[in-house]
Each structure stands twice: as structure tokens, then as C-alpha cells.
């Protein structure tokens, strides 16, 4: 009865959903790809996975793609005869995934509209579906189960902020959760939460966080110098980076930067909005502050930056290279109530990090970063300024925080192998 009501209701939602996606794509200057979202995959694209068993991994956006990377590498190594298909929901996720050499085909995930789901599954015929983190779509899960296609939830998590909402609508989610073959959750708390929402306890297990399995290393000076050259940044400048920032944070970062410039020579800021389409908005903030800047997309290597300038990054897929040239990193989404972003990215490159109080989406990681002494949590823009000042003043403190971050990565890996042990039972 639930699925009947759900599908009747979804018929009335088709037009509003189409209108929303058209508006979102046009406003961001990106193709809407409605055909793919309705399950139509071009024949030329399908030919890339033809005559091979298919592993379908779904990663909503950039963060899920990055988290999935160790798993994708392990799948490619262990199952070389399989085709690997990755689907995304967002355009930035699609751009990021398309750069991964392990993947044979990238598509947009179909709307959870029954004809779209059936068309996509009939076209792809996957041997296994892996859903990253917490994507629960009733029609997709039910249609996969009806075809005896196992569906595994990988790297599952239920954040503090979303738990109450999921619990309130457990009557909706439990129908899909009961159809998952296995639910691999990051922590015991995540296991308890998803079982409370309706997942079968016998198929739910703690597998750890795949994000700890991203490659980690100390970046040497020669590599830093080379990468700085690619971004037209003089080698002698100390680089501050504000990564994955959201509306309301860029102004705080700009204010901090202006204060620091009055006290320190040789500073340079790399500013990376989480959503590149906000670059024009951030550019206007820099213009009003009177700070010279250039966008990444208009950068000429022959035209070198000066101290006090800003590189405004309006591209995707360059975050790790940018962290590699950074001396002090602020990880955004944390000074405004967004839930934070992944502190392991700077930690994996031995970079000292700063972050704000709003880390509900990365609660466990934030606690570990503080436990290992790999970063500093601030509670305001004033705290951000003072902590930046302290780190800029002490190369030794930056070095210690960076080494602690590398130790955190070394001590907390292993989730990929635990996931692969589960996946191996279905392939």
C-alpha cells in the first residue's frame, strides 16, 4: 500500500521537480540533463559498459565522491573485469567523478519516479548497487530488490541535525531501509540511529569511515614550489586557504585577512566557495573590501600574484592541490550552521587546520582532530583572526599540527577493507 500511495503522489510531483531542476541548472549555467534523470542513457554511453558485469555506485555530490575514492580504487583493483558506473545528483559531483580514472561511466541518478527508475535499471542491469552515505529512495531500492540486485549502503551516517527529521518520517524510510542487503555505518551511534529509523538490525554493521582511507603524505617543498607556480603564486608567500566556504563566511574570512595583512608581510589568500556559481557574489565582497583578486578561470601563469592578493577559485576538482600549497587552512561550512566539511582533506597533507563550532555533519572527525591536536576549533570571527595570527607566527606549531594530522590518518584507516569484505559476498 505504501508504494502505491507513494507512486500516485510522485505523479503530481513530476512537473514541480522538472521546473526546479530547469531553474537550478539554468541559474547555474549548466545543462539540466533531464533525459538522464528520467533514465534515458545514450547508446554510445552504454557501449562503454556493454558485455561486462556492472557495479553501480551512487555518490550524491563532491563530498561523497571523495569519500568513495578509496572504495572505487579497491573495486577496480579487485574486480578488473567489471565495469564501474558512478551516478551523481549534483552537477559538481558529476564533474568531480568524471575525473576519476577508475570509473567507466558517469551518469545522473534517476528521479525516484517509477518509469525513470525502471528504465535506468533495465538499461544498466547492475550486478550490485552501492549507495554512499544516506540516500534512501523507495522506488529505486524496491525495483533493485525485485530484480534480485543487492543494494549496499556504504559509509552510512545519520548526522545530529538530520536524525530527528529521519525519525519523524521513519514511517516513510523504513520501507526502503528494509530492502537494503547490508547497511555499513560509520560508527556505533550511526548504527543505532538507522536501526531506530527502521533498518533491520541483523543487516546493519559498523564498518568505519572511508574518508580516513584517503591517501595521506607530507608535501615536500619542491612539490609546493611547483604547484604554486601553476597558480602564479610566488614561492616566498605564506598561503592561507579558506576552503568550502558558504554564504556569510566569506565576509568573515575577508575581514580576518585584512586584519592579518596589517601585521604580517608576505601573506596570500586562496578563497574557495563550496559552490563555484557563487564566485560572482564573493568577487563583489572582495571588490568592496578593495582587495586585489583574480579568478582561477582567468588566471595567466605569466602574471604573478603579489602579497595581499587573493586567488578566488571558481572551479571544482582542485581542492587537494590547493591544500597542498597551503600553510594554514580554514575549513568552511563551520562558522555558519551548515554542518561543516571534511577536515581530513588538509590533515591528509599535513596542513594545520582551523574550523568553527558547527560541525554536526563531521562530528566524529572534528572530535578526532581535536583529540590528536591536528587542528584548532574557533567560535567566532575574532577567534579565527587570533588563531590565524598564532599559527602564522609559529612555523613550529604549524609543523606539529600537520604531523598530528598525518598520525590521525595513519591510526584510523581500514574502512575500505571492511567494506570490501562485505561487498565480496555479493560479487
CB atoms within 10 A of CB 171: 10
Catalytic residue among 36, 45, 64, 91: 64
- 36 given a catalytic annotation: no
In terms of Cα–Cα distance, which of 344, 321, 370 is closest to 219? 321
CA distances (Å), 103 to each of 72, 73, 97, 100, 256, in order?
A: 8, 9, 8, 6, 41
Distance CA 379, CA 357 (A): 5
Q: What amino acid positions are annotated as catalytic residues?
A: 64
Amino acid at each position: 500500500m505504501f508504494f502505491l500511495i507513494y507512486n500516485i503522489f510522485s505523479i503530481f510531483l513530476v512537473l514541480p521537480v522538472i521546473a526546479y531542476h530547469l531553474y537550478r541548472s539554468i541559474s547555474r549555467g549548466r545543462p539540466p540533463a533531464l533525459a538522464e534523470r528520467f533514465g534515458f542513457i545514450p547508446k554510445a554511453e552504454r557501449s562503454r559498459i556493454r558485455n561486462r558485469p556492472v557495479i553501480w555506485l551512487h555518490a550524491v555530490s563532491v563530498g561523497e565522491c571523495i569519500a568513495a575514492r578509496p572504495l572505487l580504487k579497491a573495486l577496480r583493483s579487485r574486480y578488473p573485469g567489471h565495469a564501474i558506473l558512478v551516478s551523481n545528483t549534483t552537477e559538481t559531483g558529476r564533474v568531480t567523478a568524471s575525473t576519476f580514472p577508475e570509473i567507466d561511466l558517469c551518469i545522473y541518478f534517476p528521479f525516484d519516479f517509477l518509469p525513470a527508475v525502471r528504465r535506468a535499471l533495465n538499461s544498466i542491469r547492475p550486478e550490485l548497487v552501492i549507495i554512499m552515505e544516506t540516500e534512501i529512495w523507495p522506488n529505486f531500492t524496491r525495483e533493485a530488490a525485485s530484480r534480485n540486485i543487492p543494494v549496499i549502503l556504504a559509509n552510512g551516517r545519520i548526522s545530529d541535525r538530520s536524525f530527528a527529521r529521519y525519525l519523524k518520517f521513519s514511517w516513510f524510510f523504513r520501507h526502503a531501509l528494509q530492502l537494503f542487503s547490508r547497511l555499513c555505518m560509520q560508527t556505533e551511534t550511526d548504527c543505532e540511529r538507522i536501526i531506530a529509523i527502521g533498518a533491520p538490525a541483523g543487516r546493519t554493521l559498523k564498518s568505519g569511515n572511508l574518508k580516513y582511507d584517503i591517501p595521506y603524505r607530507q608535501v615536500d617543498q619542491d612539490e609546493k614550489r611547483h604547484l604554486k607556480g601553476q597558480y602564479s603564486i610566488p614561492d616566498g608567500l605564506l598561503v592561507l586557504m579558506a576552503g568550502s566556504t558558504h554564504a556569510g563566511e566569506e565576509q568573515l574570512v575577508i575581514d580576518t585577512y585584512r586584519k592579518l595583512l596589517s601585521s604580517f608581510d608576505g601573506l596570500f589568500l586562496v578563497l574557495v566557495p563550496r559552490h563555484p556559481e557563487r564566485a560572482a557574489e564573493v568577487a563583489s565582497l572582495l571588490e568592496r573590501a578593495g582587495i586585489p583578486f583574480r579568478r582561477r578561470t582567468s588566471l595567466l601563469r605569466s602574471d604573478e600574484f603579489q602579497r595581499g592578493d587573493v586567488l578566488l577559485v571558481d572551479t571544482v576538482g582542485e581542492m587537494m592541490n590547493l591544500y597542498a600549497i597551503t600553510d594554514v587552512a580554514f575549513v568552511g561550512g563551520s562558522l555558519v550552521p551548515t554542518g561543516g566539511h571534511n577536515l581530513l582533506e588538509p590533515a591528509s597533507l599535513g596542513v594545520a587546520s582551523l574550523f568553527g563550532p558547527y560541525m554536526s555533519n563531521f562530528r566524529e572527525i572534528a572530535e578526532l582532530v581535536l583529540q590528536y591536536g591536528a587542528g584548532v576549533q574557533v567560535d567566532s570571527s575574532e577567534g579565527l583572526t587570533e588563531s590565524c595570527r598564532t599559527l602564522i607566527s609559529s612555523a613550529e606549531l604549524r609543523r606539529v599540527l600537520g604531523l598530528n594530522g598525518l598520525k590521525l590518518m595513519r591510526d584510523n584507516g581500514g574502512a575500505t577493507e571492511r567494506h570490501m569484505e562485505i561487498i565480496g559476498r555479493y560479487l
